[in-house]
């Protein structure tokens, strides 16, 4: 079993979010200790819900962060509950740190509109609580409007820092995508140059020879011998073209294990997800089977990384009993199978068509909250028949 390197893109952003959550958990302790009276049942329930929410988000960041980003109301409820249950504290520094870490999370999670609205809610709620405390004079509050204004500026600054980090990470991801595309274009240019050289050095020269022989035949009037010579040259051109096409397919269709490793490494570089890869007995596969397996794996892995919210994806490829079985399973949110035909959702039809083209089958299992499993099953040739793989590749 091979575990690839941890994700790079987005890694710093994720860690900053987790640090903010840890700070929230740590600050809650002195805030609760400073309560002037024993809390009631409702306060304890709200406190437990707030702490549990932070802990669950910390442990399941990759799965829950997309949900919170799509539903800002969750963060709004968290802000209101925190303001209510921590309002009576005398540990003002810890209280500010708790709310400040919340402001940082707002910047990390949301775009400009959500960031402004939630930061305004946080600031307005904090100011209202402090005004209430000053009017009631039941607890010592901050020393006047200056302290409140400073706290509001702190919240705005932390939300801005979080938003700037998010924007910077987006630019880094875009730059990495551009570099990847540029590398692909460069490799394509090199491949085109190589094809041109191969055609010039072998196939073109043979075809030129056929042309000269045909002209000589027309001038000399020796049809039998000339025709035989032209036939031999044509057969040579066919062999050279077949060799060239086979070489091109082999170069663009690497061994299955290496292709899966490349896909997994690229996926982890652009998405905050771990990929566990395991292969066994798949060293010698026909080119068409190898090509289809790679394309299906790429489609399934990319969709799992983008849409499932999974923390880990397992990719297993085994060749045994005359069958290739390629399985991609994630621990993400899953979905209802009856909704799988939604446009742009998982490309299931395309993967099944690829499988059927080579005599295989593709099955999908998924339940909401239980992840998704894609299984490609393809009959493969025996070890002796795999020597004919180049010929099968030519017929594609």
Check whether residue 235 and residue 348 sit in a common domain.
no
Of 219, 234, 252, which residue constitutes the final position of a domain? 252
Q: Which tokens sit at 280? A: 């066994």
CATH number of the domain to which 303 belongs: 3.30.565.10
Q: Which tokens sit at 81? A: 């509950």
Structural domain of 61? 2-175
Q: Look at the chain and count its residues.
A: 396
Of 237, 252, 267, which residue constitutes the final position of a domain? 252
Check whether residue 211 and residue 302 sit in a common domain.
no
Strands (E), the chain: 2-3, 274-280, 312-320, 323-330, 361-366, 372-379
CB neighbours of 115 closer than 8 A, spacing ≥ 6?
Answer: 106, 107, 159, 162, 163
DSSP state of 368: T
- Comparing CA positions, the residue from 226, 99, 229 lying closest to residue 156 is 99
Pairing type for strands 274-280 and 312-320 reads parallel
- Number of domains making up the chain: 3
Check whether residue 265 and residue 246 sit in a common domain.
no
Check whether residue 237 and residue 347 sit in a common domain.
no
Check whether residue 241 and residue 376 sit in a common domain.
no
- At residue 335's C-alpha, the angle toward residues 350 and 11, to 5°, is 90
Check whether residue 245 and residue 264 sit in a common domain.
no
396 residues of the chain, pLDDT tens digit each: 344 443 445 666 778 888 888 888 888 777 777 666 676 677 778 778 888 888 888 888 777 888 888 888 988 998 888 888 776 666 777 778 888 889 999 998 888 898 999 999 999 998 888 887 777 665 454 556 787 888 899 999 999 998 888 888 888 777 777 777 777 666 666 666 666 666 656 665 666 666 676 666 666 655 666 666 666 776 777 666 666 665 555 555 678 888 888 888 888 877 888 899 998 877 678 878 888 898 899 999 988 888 888 889 999 999 988 899 999 999 888 876 655 454 444 477 888 888 998 899 999 988 887 889 999 999 986 444 444 444 444 444
Distance CA 184, CA 168 (A): 24
Check whether residue 111 and residue 21 sit in a common domain.
yes
Check whether residue 124 and residue 215 sit in a common domain.
no
- Comparing CA positions, the residue from 116, 129, 111 lying closest to residue 155 is 116
Check whether residue 98 and residue 154 sit in a common domain.
yes
Please indicate, yes or no, whether the overall pTM of this predicted structure exceeds 0.75.
no
Of 143, 175, 207, which residue constitutes the final position of a domain? 175
């Amino acid at each position: 079993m091979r575990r690839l390197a941890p994700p790079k893109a987005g890694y710093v952003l994720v860690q900053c979010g987790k640090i903010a959550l840890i700070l929230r958990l740590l600050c809650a302790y002195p805030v609760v200790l400073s309560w002037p009276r024993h809390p009631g049942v409702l306060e304890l329930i709200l406190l437990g819900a707030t702490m549990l929410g932070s802990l669950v988000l910390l442990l399941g960041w990759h799965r829950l962060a997309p949900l919170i980003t799509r539903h800002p109301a969750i963060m709004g409820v968290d802000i209101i509950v925190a303001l209510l249950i921590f309002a009576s504290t005398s540990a003002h520094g810890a209280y500010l740190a708790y709310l400040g870490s919340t402001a940082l999370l707002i910047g990390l999670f949301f775009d400009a509109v959500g960031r402004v609205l939630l930061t305004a809610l946080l600031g307005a709620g904090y100011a209202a609580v402090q005004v209430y405390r000053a009017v009631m004079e039941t607890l010592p509050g901050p020393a006047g409007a200056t302290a409140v204004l400073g706290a509001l500026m702190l919240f705005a600054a932390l939300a801005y820092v979080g938003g700037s980090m998010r924007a910077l990470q987006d630019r880094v991801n875009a730059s990495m995508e551009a570099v990847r595309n540029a590398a692909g274009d460069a490799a394509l240019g090199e491949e085109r140059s190589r094809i041109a050289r191969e055609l010039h050095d072998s196939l073109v020269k043979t075809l030129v020879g056929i042309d000269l022989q045909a002209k000589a035949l027309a001038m000399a009037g020796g049809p039998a011998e000339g025709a035989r010579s032209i036939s031999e040259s044509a057969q040579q051109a066919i062999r050279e073209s077949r060799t060239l096409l086979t070489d091109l397919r082999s170069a663009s269709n690497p061994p299955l294990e290496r292709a899966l490793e490349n896909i997994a490494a690229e996926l982890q570089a652009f998405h905050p997800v771990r990929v566990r890869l395991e292969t066994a007995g798949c060293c010698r596969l026909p080119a068409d089977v190898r090509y289809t397996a790679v394309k299906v794996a790429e489609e399934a892995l990319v969709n799992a990384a983008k849409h499932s919210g999974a923390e880990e994806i397992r990719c297993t490829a085994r060749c045994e009993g005359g069958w290739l079985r390629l399985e991609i399973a994630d621990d993400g949110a899953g979905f209802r199978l009856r909704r799988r035909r939604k446009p742009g959702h998982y490309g299931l039809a395309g993967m099944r068509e690829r499988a059927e083209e080579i005599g295989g089958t593709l099955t999908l299992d998924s339940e909401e909250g239980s992840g998704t499993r894609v299984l490609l099953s393809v009959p493969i040739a025996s070890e002796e028949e795999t020597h004919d793989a180049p010929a099968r590749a030519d017929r594609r």
